[in-house]
Structure formats: C-alpha cells, structure tokens
Amino acid sequence: MVLVISGFDPSAGAGIMQDIKSLALLGITGSGVVSCYTVQNAEKVFSINFRKWEEIDRELSVLPKPTIIKIGLISPEFVGLIRRKFPDSVIVWNIILSSSSGYFFESEDVVKENLKYADYVILNNKEAERIGIIEEESDKYIITFGHSNENDKVIAVKFGNEEFTEERIVKNGNSHFHGTGCAFSSLFAGLLYLNYTPKEAVIEAMRIMKKILKLSSEPDAPRQVQSEKLSREWMKYEALEELGNIVDDLREIGKYTVPEVGQNVSYALPWSKNEYEVAKFPGRIRLKEGMPTFVSEPSFKDKSHTARMVLTAKEFEPHIRCVSNVRYVPEYIENAKKAGLVVYKYNRESEPEEISMEDGKSMQWMIKAAVESVGRIPDIIYDEGWYGKEAMIRIFGRNPKDVIHKIMKILRHAQWVNLEKLE
C-alpha cells in the first residue's frame, strides 16, 4: 500500500488531492491522512493549520502497514514519529519550506534534524540551498531545478551524482505551476511501489510530468498541475476500442450502407473540441467489388464530415457523441419511422448561399435546423441530395454500438436486405 500524509489544498493543485490523483495515474489506490489544512488557491496561500500528532496517529493506526509512505507538508518533527510507527516502510519526504507566494511553512533547523528519518528527500534547488544540501551527492536527495534559470529550455533533476533533464513547459511566459513538487514526488513514490529502481523512478516521473504539464498549459486552464487530464487517455483508448468492436458489423452490413462518397463512424470524447479529438476511420469505409473495405484502423488522425457533425451535435446534447452516414434509400427512412426513431428531413435548397459555399457550415446549419424543428437531436437526419451533393442518411447515437443498433433497425424490414444478424 502507498500511504500519503500531506496537507489539504482546497484548490486541488497541490497537497493530498494532487498526491492521490497522481498515484491514480499509475493505477495505484493510495490511502491518505491529512497533516494540515490550508486556505489557498492556485496563486496564494492565506493561512495554515497543522493538525496534532494524536489526531494523525489515531487515523494511521486503523490503516494497514504501508510499503511506501509519501510525506508532504507536515510538522517536520512528525517525520521521526512516522518512522518509529512504521520502521520498515520506505519514506519519501517532499520538503516544502515555503510557498511560491512567500508563505512560511517549515523551519530549516527542524527539517535538518529530521532528514535522517526519510529514505528519500525531494525538494527544489532553493530549498536545498537553504537547508545546505545543494552539493550533496547522496542517493537520498532528489533536487529539482525548476526554480533555476527560467530561460533554460529544460528542467534538470539531480539524483545523487547524476543529473537528468526534461523539456521545460511554459504557460503564458511562466514555467511555474502550482503543485509540481507534490505531483512529481507522488509519482516517484508510486513508481517505487511498482518496483522501479530510484533512478528509473526519477526518469519516468519526469517523463510523466512533462505530459501532465503540457495538458495543464492549455489557455483556459488555471496555473496549476492538472494531473487528472492525463487520465483522459483511457477514454481515448476506449473510444478506439469501441469503434474496433463494430468493424465486423460494418463489414457485414456495408454492402447495404456505404454510399458513393464512403461511410464513416465518428465517436467524440466528452471534451472533444476539434476533429483530431474525435475517433474515426481515416480515409472512410469504401466499397471494393461490392464489399466494404477499411482504408485505415480507427484513430484520431485525419478529418471527417461525420466528426464535424458529432462535434456540433454534442453542443446541443453532450451525450450524443457518435454519428455515421449511410446510403440514402427511401425504404430505410420508412423503416426508421416504423421502428419509432425520430427522423428529420433536411432540405438543402433552404441553405443560404454563404452556408453552402463554406466547407463544414452545411452540417452545422443542418443540425441546428433539426434541433429547432424537433426539439432535440434526431436519431436520423436525411436529405435527398442537391447539385453536387449525394443524398444521405445520418444516424446519431450515444456510442458506436447505439448507432449500429439504429442502423440495424432501418435495415431489418428492407426486403432486399439479407443478413442473418437481422433475423
């Protein structure tokens, strides 16, 4: 078990919430005890209230004995008490003498007296200078140099007599993110738990931190570490997996559904804002000798008109994250209505010229018109074509499985369709 003993930061950029989030990225369920309560945000610390040892000890006593203990902001003398309570645990102590806004936390002298109780000590170069260990080459100390020359394009981390570097991430001209020490030290502790050597844990923690900080540097994000954004990666994998799961269905029904321009199925993530954040089949699904052919495996590469449609659709209803285009057959529309699907007919002739002339605008206009008419995103939006535009059916749903289910409904009663799966 990994046990975290650190302060509570209500902004969640640092402290115990950041520690637990960082461990979760590694698939580790961490236990936690709050060592102090702070009043702070991403920019400034206003006050701090350290808890009594008796309160902390009572909570520690009901938890299993930990393999790794990550200690953050704490009364330094408590580190010795934690060592005596858990003599066999590996202690990683992330020392925080003061906040970047200048709020004093811990006494250098008391910190020095308790360094011996930790197996690994992580701190920034300014704190290392204040404590007097900046020149130490012991494998006990891991010193980060994010607070050194901000014009450097890399950030260095010193471990023993070795130094490792990683790209410096800058947001709005500033490379300081609230909570970097907490996230880095928790990743290091978690990697030790996963049996990384200390050296390899430093290297891997730096690599993960770079990915986290890149995501944390988005324009609308607060200036703090947002490790939770990295956990979105599993949803990207899941989106691709769900598209992969319908490939056999698409192969079976493709000869009845693929239009002349090709078919696609696009599946957006909850936070998708552009086409490259939408999973799809690059190059579309084409017919070759009457059978569907996949140009590419599902990925987030390439652009797609179905991707643009789903991005617009989820602006109206966030749970509608998947759309596919299907060959227009009048019988399919009648089948959809018989099956109880909500169907909207779009008249391309009604499009203003400035809309029809600009790529991508037609889809947005079409979906907006459908919502205004029906009051929601319909299951199906179709049109009978226009000059240079193939007639098309578009199916909207929550996910690829939902869309395939709706396609099966419109095929089921077509007399000329012969599929065992539809029986």
User: Which of 385, 408, 251, 264 has its CA nearest to residue 335?
Assistant: 408
Contact 155, 145 (CB under 8 A): yes
Question: Which whole number is the average pLDDT over 367-378?
Answer: 94
Give the C-alpha distances (Å, rounded to integers) separating 389 from 328, 347, 348: 12, 12, 9
Does 65 score more than 80 pLDDT?
yes
pLDDT number for residue 357:
61
pLDDT digits (tens, 9 = 90+) for 178-204: 899 999 999 999 999 999 999 999 999
Confidence of residue 356 (pLDDT cuts 50, 70, 90): low
Instruction: Map tokens 């007097």 to a residue.
Output: 132
Burial 216-225 (b: 16+ CB within 10 A, else e): bbeeeebbbb
Question: Which whole number is the average pLDDT over 113-130?
Answer: 94
The number of helices, as runs of H, and strands, as runs of E, in the chain is 14, 17
Q: How much of the chain, in percent, has pLDDT values that exceed 90?
A: 73
pLDDT number for residue 415:
62
C-alpha to C-alpha distance for 202 and 207, rounded to whole angstroms: 9
Strands (E), 41-153: 45-50, 68-71, 90-94, 120-124, 141-144
C-alpha to C-alpha distance for 390 and 236, rounded to whole angstroms: 32
Helix H or strand E encompassing 337: helix 330-338
pLDDT number for residue 266:
98
Contact 319, 325 (CB under 8 A): no
C-alpha to C-alpha distance for 131 and 146, rounded to whole angstroms: 17
- Provide the mean pLDDT of the chain: 91
Helix H or strand E encompassing 206: helix 198-216
Does 423 score more than 50 pLDDT?
no
More confident residue, 386 or 333: 333
Domains, the chain: 2-225 (3.40.1190.20), 234-422 (3.40.225.10)
Question: Which whole number is the average pLDDT over 396-417?
Answer: 88
pLDDT digits (tens, 9 = 90+) for 305-351: 999 999 999 999 999 999 999 999 999 999 999 999 999 999 877 77
Contact 346, 386 (CB under 8 A): no
pLDDT number for residue 101:
63
User: Which of 293, 262, 297 has its CA nearest to residue 280?
Assistant: 297
C-alpha to C-alpha distance for 59 and 114, rounded to whole angstroms: 22
Give the C-alpha distances (Å, rounded to integers) separating 310 from 200, 289, 324, 394: 42, 30, 9, 10
Does 22 score more than 50 pLDDT?
yes
What amino acid is encoded at 60 in this protein? Answer: L
Length of the chain: 423
| DSSP code string of 231-292 | GGHHHHHHHHHHHHTTHHHHHHHHHHH--TT-B-EEEE-TT--SGGGEEB-TT-EEEETTEE
Give the C-alpha distances (Å, rounded to integers) separating 10 from 32, 41, 224: 15, 7, 12
pLDDT number for residue 202:
97
Contact 396, 265 (CB under 8 A): no
Residues near 208 by beta carbon (within 8 Å), at least 6 away in sequence: 25, 187, 230
Does 387 score more than 80 pLDDT?
no
Check residue 302 and give left, alpha or beta (phi > 0: left; psi -120 to 50: alpha): left
Does 420 score more than 70 pLDDT?
no
